[in-house]
Amino acid sequence: RLPIRGRKQWATNLLLSALAAEFIGTSITVPIMSQYAASFNVDPGLIGLVFSIGAFATLLSDLWLPRVSDAYGRKPAIVLSLIGSSVAYGMEAMAPTFTFLLFASFCGGMFGGTPPVATAYISDIFAPSERPQYIALVPAVVSLCFVMGPILGGLLSN
């Protein structure tokens, strides 16, 4: 059994890895999403809706997912988010119509509210004096994913 400090570090690393998986999954599609959406022969002005609807749904997720984590626990909320996001990514990849792609993007966003849950989890396990350094890792990981995801997506699209 790991000492308490080791368990906290392991849990934090696992949490940040889960966060990275979610946001790499979101950002990896950026380089090809406009071409993919255009393949449905829609007006080019509508293509931005794919990103806007997903972002709006993420805003909504930031409202409901932390409540779920307060009621049922941080781990179940994070697992729910990862499963929901994964299913939504699959739905996006297999979308038969542009409308379905919008729906899939909305679903992905509805499960994208893990940063507040991750922050709450870190607040739960670390002393107040340690929290700032670990809480700062949450937006850092999200930002890093939005740097690395499009690069990875661009490399994989060739």
Where residue 1 falls among pLDDT bands split at 50, 70, 90?
Answer: low
Question: What is the pLDDT of the chain when averaged over all its residues?
Answer: 93
Q: What is the pLDDT of residue 2?
A: 52
Alpha carbon of 22 to those of 43, 75, 121: distances in Å? Answer: 29, 15, 17
Kindly provide the b/e burial profile for residues 118-138, where b requires at least 16 CB atoms within 10 angstroms of the residue's own CB: bbebbeebbeeeeeeebbebb
Whether residue 108 has pLDDT greater than 60? yes
Enter the tokens of residue 93.
């990849």
Q: How far apart are CA 110 and CA 88, in angstroms?
A: 9
How many domains does the chain divide into? Answer: 1
Question: What's the domain range around 113?
Answer: 4-157
CATH code of the domain containing 30: 1.20.1250.20
Instruction: Give me the percent of the chain exceeding a pLDDT of 90.
Output: 83
